[in-house]
Amino acid sequence: MAPNAHLVEWQTFQIIKYLFDDDDDNIALRKIDAGLEVDSPPGSEDGHFDPVIIGEKLRSVADSFNDDVRFKAAVKDLKQAAAQEAIEVAFSHGVDAIIQSQVCEKAEVALEVQLIKASVAFGLYVWKSSPELKNKVQSAMNAFLNRRVGPWVTQQGGWDQVSI
């Protein structure tokens, strides 16, 4: 059964929750438990979704963006916007700037995959460089992914079907 928008939103939240977990013991336990059944929302019959596996793939991609000049400029803009409570807009602008950079200019990669990779890289970098923004960045990333790629992820059959 293909996932609906509600299920993809739940999956997105679980992936972001894993990515922003700063408790090393909890991360290690989740990696160990990666083969076990994951709690899913009522009505979900998907036994293949694993936020740990997807999160680890995204985390490795995110690390490759850290030295990009446009990436660092977007982080600076996001920090300023956070002080002004305009973080969701700044997050979206930051990801769009990264997409336009040389790092993401790969025609063979779907725009949605580029958006996913850039948003995760951007969000994790901001969080690591400004831990006080964790909750704001986590919320902005969740909103961004659900708004910009949620329908596409649903069409693909859910996060576990997206090739990262």
Instruction: List pLDDT tens digits, range 136-160.
Output: 889 999 999 999 999 999 999 999 9
pLDDT digits (tens, 9 = 90+) for 70-111: 888 888 888 777 766 677 888 888 888 888 775 555 666 788
More confident site: 113 or 64: 113
Q: Which of 42-46, 64-68, 160-164 has the highest average model confidence (pLDDT)?
A: 160-164
pLDDT of residue 24: 60
Tell me how many degrees the CA angle 59-29-63 measures, rounded to the nearest 5: 10
